[in-house]
Structure 1
């Protein structure tokens, strides 16, 4: 039997190739948009990919089912409630697919979405019982899926509770759990682990929300910890349900003059280098979203208008092209190109650059206690702000910045702070894009470091600036 997990690190998504080496056949479950790894694995193992299975219409990333079907001729299978607008074979609860020695059994598990289906895996050469379940977006390692991406959230939470207790937790304790997402994904809650797998027995014993046997209490707990919904999730679902996407998007190399033209015409310039490189020198008006930090695609989807062109600026061409591939994974397809030669080519032509001052938390504290305090913009979430924030700071979550926030004077110094410095990097660049003249990027620790150092904090419910 063949079993391989393929992880998209930026989005925290997991997909699977399962099959039978002796029979020479395989299936891919929940393929990501970049399909090269599946094709390489299939060639290496000497199998033909004949089936593509989807657990559901994904809301956080673009599926590769169209590209993989085009490349292999495989049949796409999805639950009939998905109602996609492409050729497929619908299935119902209990449907089974034989792939050589591997039997794949559909377990309809609505809640995250009405069509959601987990897949039990049976190695018929070893025994008749499931040895693993591909739990998709129902059960994760340490948590369960979010219920608010398709139907009313309370109804979704009740669906997840029933799916867990009627289907998933009915499996034996030694059945392995291989989820559709790992920690960092926006399709689950804060309890999601970075581990790639678990077992039914371990999750039953150690996953706290599974210990809740009362449905009403489960719903209350599931809704209490809901985070922000994935950006553009309706548009991504529409792409995944619509006609098959089989093509990528050509990324054109652009000379500095062409980048300048695109900027003048309203394109979003996204600098994907490190925040340190960006702060030292960047193209005026560019936004800082470092590619090397997990979550690039989600941050881009929050900041960018998917109907307007995007130009990437990297350390070099490969850096920018990889950013383009990550952009496609979240449905961004208006990609105008990338600065050929990276930021070096811009500097070689002596074109203008802007800079952002960097400041550590200790220096911010000293400045606030002196005669020249700065405005502090906190760009974390409202729940983080409510738990602990710097007195007098203004809250606007980084991806909600669409101008100079209320309560902030763009002509005075603005210190932008988060929990680590990563979100603050994006927010500081957005303030510069919208006309702030003196922006300070607070690095290395943010509000938690401020609190640990004993500086004054407040803990109260706050109203976000708009």
Structure 2
């Protein structure tokens, strides 16, 4: 028997590959299936089952393309109602893979169909659970994502999650290995550990959710402090449940190379958003007006989902070198399938045609330190925890994810500074600000990491309720 975790860092997502006696199972595959089919061919094994722990919200699974390519059936847990052929398991149903078995344990709470798969070895001993979003390391799945679909409150779902954990998972032996669907960085939980594999015994000792004294305390603990889920989550659930265009078709359409003139015409005729995936430094020095910068070398796909939201939005890409396939792949993982082409020759080709360009006023941390004073407006777009740990004295905390809420409070006549931790997120903010007509700011290269090395006054958390106007 072989168990392999295939972890994708930018999505903090774990897929799983299990092999026994010439047969294989894959749990929660990503959108592009070639890595899986290549692995099956290399190992000389047949894919017997594709297991889905639930209808994922944060990424589009590769279950449909993988099933079509291999003939393997797709398995969901009880109550799932996908719009395509699949096997909907009963609670406790056993599936054989070579000499091992996988048992479907219905564990609703994160979603109604959420299922944990229990792996037993040749002797029938419990070896591992593939817990999906039911149990994370250090956390449990948030119970607010499926409440509308289930016509239940998040408290109702949290109560179901408590029952699932205490009745189905906690009774298992401490030496059982926990393989979750996500790790730290995923928006599907709030307190995940950086590790991606652990024993159930250690989770029983260290996971805050598993150490609540009673059901009421559990419900309160797992529902407090939940931030609003990214807007694209609901659309990803729909794609996973209803179906989607094949990955190969998405790739073929997106790889349409457009000359600068054709690119410009496409933007005007289709209303496509121009997504520039170059690094923040290159973008700041020159870009196509009104384009949005989300660098490919970073948490690209999650930030695209958070900033653009509508997965059906037509996209035109500006990429560096030979990264077009990577960009399309990573967009497709979160359901952004409507890439209609990319700029052939990149931004350099656009400049050579003499077309209009724009720049961002990016300054160094030293310049920032020299220019600020007590009247300076400083906007920190980092997350809550980062800001709370330490920030520039007097800086406003305005998380990037909430830019559509706070942008209206900016006085367009008053200069301000904007920074994040290193420059990635602040350049996203800068590109959105300029696309919406704000030009009265300077973005700090290197972000707080660089600012912290200067003599700029700093402070720990202070609640700020001032307005920007």
TM-score (norm: length of structure 2): 0.90
Q: How does 1:176-215 map to 2 (within 5 A)?
A: 176-189=177-190, 191-215=191-215
Change (3 A) 1:361 1:219: farther
Q: How many residues align?
A: 457
Unaligned runs of 5+ in 2: 148-152
Q: Which residue of 2 aligns with 1:299?
A: 303
Q: Which residue of 2 aligns with 1:444?
A: 446
Q: Which residue of 1 aligns with 2:129?
A: 133
Q: Which residue of 1 aligns with 2:462?
A: 459
Identify the range of structure 1 (160-169 vs 328-337) with the bigger mean alpha-carbon deviation.
Answer: 160-169
Quote the Cα distance in structure 1 between the aligned partners of 2:367 and 2:455: 15
Q: Which residue of 1 aligns with 2:94?
A: 96
Change (3 A) 1:389 1:153: farther
Q: What do the CA deviations read for 1:135-172 (whole angstroms, capped 9, x no partner)?
A: 11111122221111102221222222222221112111
Contact 1:94 1:107 in 2 (8 A): yes
The alignment status of 1:328 with 2:332, answered yes or no, reads: yes
SS across alignment from 2:113: coil
Contact 1:396 1:464 in 2 (8 A): no
The alignment status of 1:264 with 2:268, answered yes or no, reads: yes
- CA apart distance, 1:262: 2.8
The alignment status of 1:109 with 2:107, answered yes or no, reads: yes
Quote the Cα distance in structure 2 between the aligned partners of 1:465 and 1:264: 34
Change (3 A) 1:259 1:117: same
SS across alignment from 2:428: helix
Change (3 A) 1:463 1:73: farther
Unaligned runs of 5+ in 1: none
- CA apart distance, 1:417: 2.2
Could you tell me which of 23, 26, 37 is aligned with 1:25? 23
SS across alignment from 2:218: helix
Quote the Cα distance in structure 1 between the aligned partners of 2:456 and 2:207: 33
The alignment status of 1:15 with 2:15, answered yes or no, reads: yes
Quote the Cα distance in structure 1 between the aligned partners of 2:239 and 2:461: 44
Q: Which residue of 2 aligns with 1:405?
A: 407
Q: How does 1:351-366 map to 2 (within 5 A)?
A: 351-366=355-370
TM-score (norm: length of structure 1): 0.90
SS across alignment from 1:51: strand
The alignment status of 1:156 with 2:157, answered yes or no, reads: yes
- CA apart distance, 1:401: 3.4
Change (3 A) 1:168 1:448: farther
- CA apart distance, 1:402: 4.4
Aligned-residue RMSD, C-alpha = 2.6
Contact 1:432 1:439 in 2 (8 A): no
Contact 1:232 1:301 in 2 (8 A): yes
Q: Which residue of 1 aligns with 2:116?
A: 118
- CA apart distance, 1:194: 2.8
Identify the range of structure 1 (139-148 vs 64-73) with the bigger mean alpha-carbon deviation.
Answer: 139-148
- CA apart distance, 1:359: 2.7
The alignment status of 1:340 with 2:338, answered yes or no, reads: no
- CA apart distance, 1:130: 1.0
Quote the Cα distance in structure 1 between the aligned partners of 2:403 and 2:196: 34
- CA apart distance, 1:240: 0.7
